[in-house]
Structure 1
Amino acid sequence: MSDALVLYTNPMSRGRIARWMLEEVGASYTTEIVDYGEAMQGAAFRAINPMAKVPALKHGDTVITEGAAICAYLADAFPQAGLAPEPGSRERGTYYRWMFFAAGPIEAAVTHRALGYVPPQEKSRMVGYGSYERMLDTLEGALGAGPYLLGERFSAADVLVGAQVGWGVQFGTIETRPAFEAYAARCMSRPAAIRAKEMDDALLPPLA
């Protein structure tokens, strides 16, 4: 089976998270830029991801979609990068906790807020994040011990959460708090994050 890695992405998408993770693990990969519209909705790309969205990662015959899944997969596929704790360890439990917190409560709460939806207080338990404010307080508490989600150790969970916090603070979808700004700055200053950003920025369409 081929071990070739192919990243399907767009520079104006969550594909930036997948590229950052690829740069962190140091894997060789090729990039397929999928334009929004006909290319993303077309049969060729939907054979890769029927959801017609990026990112998607193809590793040989295996296709991985969803940012959290891509980060977790790459951390396990390239253990030499040291971006995931040992399976079965207590640290692994903490790692899973915040990886899935990012994919669930953070993503949902931020999206709902951006769309102007606020769950009624009496129905807050119907949404996984309870309330936007509770999600933020919980996230801030997780970052309190720092500098990363696993303490001194940077992991794939920090790629996912760091990207979400960084973008959220930048674009106003996550409330600005000193803990969030400091955490995002630490994550985004990593060489792999800088390389990935430069690659994607170079692919952006020119300003009118």
Structure 2
Amino acid sequence: MANMPEIELFHAPNTRSTGVRVLLEELGVPYGLRTLNMRAGEHLGDAYRAVNPMAKVPAIRHGDVLVTEQAAIYLYLADLFPASNLAPAVTEPARATYLRWMVFYGSCFEPAVIDRHLKREPGPRAMSAYADYDSVIARVVEALTPGPYLLGERFSAADILWGGALGWTMGFGIVAPDPVLTAYVERIRARPAFRTVATADADLAAAHAATQV
């Protein structure tokens, strides 16, 4: 893709933007990194709020295009580089399953695990975005039980999103360990792109921590 502007990722280590960095590594495309030291509150300043008024990461800038919100960024990037085969085309039946899991993450999984972590009730079933926590986790386990990925044998951007999320939530004890989920996370973490970003993020986090000493 000659003359395509470089993608700029606004990133803080060990946050939701880590998965986007993994995705960019999987795509194998050049990108620039704009790091934010969240320990120093850089994401709360006017400069970054001009990028994302919500003061959250990730965000990407691609030429004149600005994309925020985690799932939107995954969808945008995976579709932007179809040769990577990380997103089914709109004409493929697998596209429906792919979109389901991209949306299920933010609309059901995150609210469910946050409510569970904070010991909050989900609210009346008719008003709840996710119904109940156990149902959410059961659907994820069911989807991954055939394996090895959400689309069966096909690895996709959705697996980068879910592999990271399940790794974090099980690591912090929010989601109970499960053999299916644990094996899935291990498969995702074994990928070279994940290992590369994990090492880089560890170094970046240490550098940010040192500035607060």
Which bin holds the TM-score, normalised by the shorter protein?
over 0.9
Find out whether 1:57 has 2:60 as its counterpart: yes
Partner of 1:34: 36
Kindly provide the amino acid, as one letter, of the partner of residue 166 in structure 1: G
Structure 2 residues without counterparts, runs of 5 or longer: none
Does the 8 A contact of 2:22 with 2:193 survive in 1?
yes
* 2: CA distance, partners of 1:201 / 1:28: 21
Identity across matched positions, percent: 41
Kindly provide the amino acid, as one letter, of the partner of residue 10 in structure 2: Y
Moved over 4 A (4+): none
Kindly provide the amino acid, as one letter, of the partner of residue 104 in structure 2: F
Kindly provide the amino acid, as one letter, of the partner of residue 91 in structure 2: G
Note the 1:187-198 alignment, pairs <5 A: 187-198=188-199
Aligned residues, how many? 206
How many angstroms does 1:175 deviate by? 1.5
Note the 1:60-79 alignment, pairs <5 A: 60-79=63-82
How many angstroms does 1:38 deviate by? 4.2
Does the 8 A contact of 1:7 with 1:31 survive in 2?
yes
* 2: CA distance, partners of 1:175 / 1:117: 17
Structure 1 residues without counterparts, runs of 5 or longer: none
Partner of 2:105: 102
How many angstroms does 1:124 deviate by? 2.4
How many angstroms does 1:2 deviate by? 6.1
Note the 1:2-151 alignment, pairs <5 A: 3-36=5-38, 38-119=41-122, 123-151=124-152
Larger displacement relative to structure 2 (28-37 or 45-54): 28-37
Does the 8 A contact of 2:112 with 2:122 survive in 1?
no
TM-score when scaled to structure 2? Answer: 0.91
How many angstroms does 1:39 deviate by? 2.0
